Amino acid sequence: MTLDGFVLLTLIIVAHLIFAIRLINVYQWVNLGQGSLAWDRIPERMNDLFVKGFGQKLVLRKKSGIGHALIFWGFFVLTFGTIEGLVSGVLFDFSFAFLGPIWWFMNTCQDFFGALVMIALGAALYRRLIIRPKRLEGPFSHTLDALFIIGLIALLIVAFYAMQIIAPKPGFTPVADGLRAMLGITGPLGKEAYPVAFHSFHWLHNLIVLGFLVYIPFSKHLHIITALPNLFFRQERVRGRIPNLDMENESAESFGIVKITDFTKKELLDLASCTECGRCQEACPAYNTGKPLSPKKVVLDLKDYLFEVGPKLLHHPGAELEKQLYGDVIAHDVLWACTSCFACEEACPVEIQPMSKLLGIRQARVLMEGDFPEEAQNALRNIETQSNPWNLPQEERGKWAEGLDIQTLAENAEVEYLFFTGCAGAYDQRYINVTRSLALLFRHAGVSFGILGNEECCTGDSAKRVGNEYLAQTLAQQNVDTFNGYGVKKVVTACPHCFNAIKNEFPQLGGHYEVIHHSELINDLIKEGKLKPDAKALADGGYTYHDSCYLARYNGVMDAPRDVVARVTGKPVTEMERTRSNGFCCGAGGGRMWMEEKIGKAINQERAQEALRTGAKTIATACPFCMTMITDGVKHEGREDVQVKDVAEILAEVMHLETGQRKTTDA
Amino acid sequence: MKIAVLIKRVPDTASVFAINPDQKSVATDKLKFVMSPYDEHAVEEAIKLKEANGADVVVVSLGPDSAKEVMRTALAMGADEGLLVTGAGTDSLTSKGVAEALAAAVKSIGAELVFAGKQAVDDDASQVAERVAELLEMAHASVVTKFELNGGTAVVNREIEGGSYTLELPLPAVITIEKGINTPRYPTLPNIMKAKKKPIAEKSLADLGLSAEALAPGVVLESLSLPRQNRRNHIIDGDTPARVNELIRLLKEEEKAL
């Protein structure tokens, strides 16, 4: 071995040691979390790994993801040459030549991918320096980190092509050949022909590779190592369900996330897997309206905190920390800005869950400290007393049905559907019109249904997302007991929040029902010919539809409400810029309905403006919270000419079903 | 130091009220009950004092067995124990009788400081705490919006129209609390769990050595009635002159207001 080879070998060993030690550290810090990483359902997990990981399925949902995929795949292709380069630096003249045609093929691929990666790097640079999209906003150090990596990879490709120009390996290599021709290099080739140049580029290539190896685990590029495992160990979960905390556990020291180590190992692996791509930030209604919450920042702040306190906690488990998770890392205004709209978790290409982490911290604030926004406290107290957030009498929960002669399950439980109205459907003077419209539609179509009347209580959706697991479970259990008492099998509801709670959360407490949203049921009834809209009666002017997060993103109900409007009007709704699973929250989820919005632009205004830009004269909704928020937003814009209506109302009106209710919110 | 907080279980004011056929009592079977809101502030003030200076906080109530539910709420907020005066004869007392019973209860625990809401939101009588002070010969300040303990004396603020009093009271004293003095805390889960195990003692009127004479009502309830309800909403249609004429006719003939 030459001195040259010896130096390189030493560097290789040192770089790998640093790399390994750092990774072991990261593993240990992640290991401070609760539970264990899941090794069940291996075939499913492998599928995730290949489709979402190696296949880049989630990354490719955005155009900019093409660049990432090219760099990602290029990395694997070029690794072939990297290994040859490193080994031949030590052992001289090593190559995969013995693989024969495979070697030829890989050399060909490398030539193409080198160019593709270069183009992708150019695009990445352009985005960071010229376009600067919202999602890449953040501290300058993050941009610097990215630029450094982009530069390093670019230099690596330069060195790769330089070697290929000087000493071509067999293969179809038009890029290297073209470059050689452009540079006017002719005559004998090979490293012997250009010993100094080749040697220099060989060293440059190897040094960059080793430098990269050392730099990766200390930078955001740690995701190269962690993202694939993060996809593999993805937490099995039901969308829309916040897993119940075990309230009976007497030995539990705390509930919710008090300390960083209260997160599960998988949740901590999440933190180490973030690449700062910012797709979550771009989708977040809070961030987009000037709130201090950015899901990206939440993840990165938690990651920095874990890496900062990890070493101490490793050697002194349970040590008192100067910096507290709540307050020092996640501030009050960050925590309570979340609308639980799920856009961040939907957007993440590596299945990181920023929202769930915030909701876990909320649980601790509410259950352990009783510390949360006062308006939300009032709403929860009201729910505790009268089982609705407005503290209206429980005794009047069934009053909306007056004059409609609807039977309660107490009077007749032999019906196909329980029609669950929800608090807004029962008490909100505006939304009662939707409830009554639906009752009339169901009756017109001959649907067999009954209501619970005063026996109905809040499903606990808001309480659960504010973090009061205790209250939420009490309410859910109360409903489950009532439902089961009447042998309920099918539930139709006009509130996506009730819908989600009954469908996805009640099963945790022994409540298993077939749950259907009213838009789905009335859409089916039209299809079956049981409801026949009279399009002539229609007020014209164009229709758009606003997706409820709990209907669309959480539960995939996106077509039915659109279909209802389309069947009535005879043409599809005019879509807003952000629709369907990319829909933009109205601002009322996660208990935000009951809290004041003091910072930044109002979320409902942002959304109402977007709806108005479609030019539609009617904004269709399918959720009581959305209706309130969008109506307020439209009013704020002074657009009295635009109406906000539930899809059920639009249908009921053209069927000339009179509810006897006023249809506006003004007094 | 022992602090007694007088609390009352009252119907939630949002409930729909109905009078029993006897015209002398409220139908309670469908009502939702809560701790009287002013009492929540009184409990909070006592707990704050406990946290600052150390004290034993005993919540004292008079009522049926179900009054324990609101006592548990106070215990979950941080009170240490409860004392419920219950049983025969407690359901028909007027303010005077309740005060006699609670005074005896407060005496039995030897409290130096007594907090109570400035009034209970069910009958709005604003009598019990004042009567207790009188019976126990304690100093008294009502409708207090700021409270401080200064050695053996209490310094309080009382809000009045356009100004405020600052009073100094020797202990023992009875203080009734107005909203605005504090924000009652939201009970935490561990405290809700602990509250389930905290002791609530029960005493009958006989246990407190009270005579029928002391508890005699002093007033006689003639009848109860609900406030006039259901504003009549009447939207008048037509052109403006017709509507004005119709309005005048309605005000004259139906409402007899003109």
CB atoms within 10 A of CB A63: 8
pLDDT digits (tens, 9 = 90+) for A185-201: 887 888 888 889 998 99
How far apart are the C-alpha atoms of A420 and A221, rounded to whole Å? Answer: 49
Query: Does the pLDDT at position B229 exceed 80?
Result: no
Q: Which residue of B30, B77, B189, B231 is the best one to mutate when testing the A interface, meaning the one whose CB has the most A CBs within 10 A?
A: B189
Task: Find, in chain B, the residue whose alpha carbon is nearest to that of A471.
Answer: B189
Nearest by Cα to A576 from A526, A533, A624, A610: A610
- Share above pLDDT 70 across residues of chain A, in percent, rounded to a whole number: 98
pLDDT score recorded for residue A578: 96
pLDDT score recorded for residue B230: 65
Q: Average pLDDT, stretch B5-10? A: 97
B30 touches chain A (CB under 8 A): yes
How far apart are the C-alpha atoms of A35 and A357, rounded to whole Å? Answer: 16
Q: Are residues A366 and B187, on separate chains, in Cβ contact within 8 Å?
A: no
Q: Average pLDDT, stretch A556-576? A: 94
pLDDT score recorded for residue A284: 97
pLDDT score recorded for residue A666: 42
SS3 for A516?
A: strand
Domain A3-232, CATH: 1.20.950
* Cβ neighbours for B230, distance < 8 A, ≥ 6 positions apart: none
Structural domain boundaries, residue B44: 2-203
Same domain, B140 and B246: no
How far apart are the C-alpha atoms of A121 and A237, rounded to whole Å? Answer: 36
Task: Find, in chain B, the residue whose alpha carbon is nearest to that of A394.
Answer: B15
Task: Find, in chain B, the residue whose alpha carbon is nearest to that of A386.
Answer: B32
pLDDT score recorded for residue A665: 47
Same domain, B164 and B239: no
B-chain residues within 8 Å CB-CB of A372? 186
How far apart are the C-alpha atoms of A30 and A37, rounded to whole Å? Answer: 10
A248 touches chain B (CB under 8 A): no
A-chain residues within 8 Å CB-CB of B183? 374
How far apart are the C-alpha atoms of A667 and A505, rounded to whole Å? Answer: 36
Question: A661: pLDDT confidence band, cut at 50, 70 and 90?
Answer: confident
Answer for the pair B33, B85: CB distance below 8 angstroms, yes or no. no
How far apart are the C-alpha atoms of A242 and A360, rounded to whole Å? Answer: 9
* Cβ neighbours for A73, distance < 8 A, ≥ 6 positions apart: A56, A113
Q: Average pLDDT, stretch A61-76? A: 93
How far apart are the C-alpha atoms of A458 and A478, rounded to whole Å? Answer: 9
How far apart are the C-alpha atoms of A353 and A235, rounded to whole Å? Answer: 10
Name beta bridge partners: A618: A543, A643
How far apart are the C-alpha atoms of A408 and A479, rounded to whole Å? Answer: 15
A423 touches chain B (CB under 8 A): no
CB atoms within 10 A of CB B92: 11
pLDDT score recorded for residue A667: 35
Query: What's the structural domain count of chain B?
Result: 2
How far apart are the C-alpha atoms of B207 and B210, rounded to whole Å? Answer: 8
B-chain residues within 8 Å CB-CB of A381? 186
Same domain, B64 and B102: yes
Q: Give the residue, A94 or A239, on which the prediction is more confident.
A: A239
Same domain, B18 and B78: yes
Q: Are residues A370 and B14, on separate chains, in Cβ contact within 8 Å?
A: no
Q: What is the largest CA-CA distance in chain A?
A: 98
In a domain, B219, yes or no: no
pLDDT score recorded for residue B256: 79
Select the CATH number that applies to the domain covering A260-369 from these four: 1.10.1060.10, 3.40.50.300, 3.40.630.40, 1.10.540.10: 1.10.1060.10
A569's tokens: 């009007």
pLDDT score recorded for residue A663: 56
Answer for the pair A347, A282: CB distance below 8 angstroms, yes or no. yes
A-chain residues within 8 Å CB-CB of B12? 385-386, 391
CA distance from start to end of chain B = 64
Same domain, B49 and B168: yes
Q: Which of A370, A386, A391 sits opposite B185 (nearest CB)?
A: A370
Same domain, B70 and B117: yes
SS3 for A457?
A: coil
Three-state helix/strand/coil letters over A343-354: HHHHHCCCCCCH
Answer for the pair A115, A73: CB distance below 8 angstroms, yes or no. no
Query: Does the pLDDT at position A279 exceed 50?
Result: yes
Find the DSSP H helices in A31-139.
Answer: 42-48, 65-91, 101-126
pLDDT score recorded for residue B129: 97
pLDDT score recorded for residue A37: 93
B-chain residues within 8 Å CB-CB of A391? 12, 14
Q: Which residue of A245, A254, A385, A399 is the best one to mutate when testing the B interface, meaning the one whose CB has the most B CBs within 10 A?
A: A385
Mean pLDDT of all residues belonging to chain A: 93
B32 touches chain A (CB under 8 A): yes
Answer for the pair A195, A244: CB distance below 8 angstroms, yes or no. no
B172 prior amide bond cis, ω within 30: yes
Answer for the pair A626, A592: CB distance below 8 angstroms, yes or no. no
Nearest by Cα to B93 from B163, B4, B8: B8
Q: Average pLDDT, stretch A262-286? A: 96
How far apart are the C-alpha atoms of A375 and A319, rounded to whole Å? Answer: 35
Same domain, B155 and B252: no
Query: Does the pLDDT at position B219 exceed 90?
Result: no
Q: Provide the phi-psi class of B137: left if phi over 0, else alpha when psi is between -120 and 50, else beta.
A: left
How far apart are the C-alpha atoms of A395 and A455, rounded to whole Å? Answer: 9
H/E element, B136: helix B128-136
pLDDT score recorded for residue A537: 63
Task: Looking at the complex, report in whole angstroms how far the Cα of residue A619 sits from the nearest Cα belonging to chain B.
Answer: 29
pLDDT score recorded for residue B29: 85
Q: What is the CATH number of the domain that holds B68?
A: 3.40.50.620
Q: How many residues does the structure list for chain A?
A: 667
Answer for the pair B145, B3: CB distance below 8 angstroms, yes or no. no
Q: How far is CA A136 from the centre of its chain?
A: 17
pLDDT digits (tens, 9 = 90+) for A545-558: 999 999 999 999 99
DSSP letter at B81 equals E
Question: B68: pLDDT confidence band, cut at 50, 70 and 90?
Answer: very high
Answer for the pair A569, A617: CB distance below 8 angstroms, yes or no. no
How far apart are the C-alpha atoms of B258 and B248, rounded to whole Å? Answer: 8
DSSP letter at A408 equals B
pLDDT digits (tens, 9 = 90+) for A593-652: 999 999 999 999 999 999 999 999 999 999 999 999 999 999 999 999 999 999 999 999
DSSP letter at A289 equals T
Q: Which residue has the tokens 């985005």?
A: A127
DSSP letter at A416 equals S
pLDDT digits (tens, 9 = 90+) for A355-402: 999 999 999 999 999 999 999 999 999 999 999 999 999 999 999 999
Please compute Rg for chain A using Cα positions: 30
In a domain, B221, yes or no: no
Q: Average pLDDT, stretch A56-80? A: 93
Same domain, B189 and B247: no
* Cβ neighbours for A40, distance < 8 A, ≥ 6 positions apart: A236
pLDDT digits (tens, 9 = 90+) for A5-55: 899 999 999 999 999 999 999 999 999 999 999 999 999 999 999 999 999
Answer for the pair A337, A373: CB distance below 8 angstroms, yes or no. no
Residue ranges of A 359-418 with Cβ closer than 8 A to chain B: 366-372, 374, 377, 380-381, 385-386, 391-396
Answer for the pair A444, A533: CB distance below 8 angstroms, yes or no. no
SS3 for A24?
A: helix
Q: Are residues B186 and A366, on separate chains, in Cβ contact within 8 Å?
A: yes
Q: Are residues A396 and B32, on separate chains, in Cβ contact within 8 Å?
A: no
In a domain, B210, yes or no: no
Domain boundaries, given as residue ranges, for chain A: 3-232, 260-369, 378-654
pLDDT digits (tens, 9 = 90+) for B97-139: 999 999 999 999 999 999 999 999 998 999 999 999 999 999 9
Of A165-179, A236-250, A478-492, B206-220, minimum mean pLDDT range = B206-220
Dihedral Cα B44, B45, B50, B55, nearest 10 deg: -110
Q: What is the largest CA-CA distance in chain B?
A: 74
pLDDT score recorded for residue A491: 98
How far apart are the C-alpha atoms of A516 and A522, rounded to whole Å? Answer: 10
Name beta bridge partners: A417: A449, A490
Q: Average pLDDT, stretch B51-61? A: 96
* Cβ neighbours for B240, distance < 8 A, ≥ 6 positions apart: none
DSSP letter at A40 equals -
DSSP B27-79: --TT--EEE-HHHHHHHHHHHHHHHHH--EEEEEEES-TTHHHHHHHHHHHT-
pLDDT digits (tens, 9 = 90+) for A168-180: 999 999 999 999 9
pLDDT digits (tens, 9 = 90+) for A306-359: 999 999 999 998 889 999 999 999 999 999 999 999 999 999 999 999 999 999
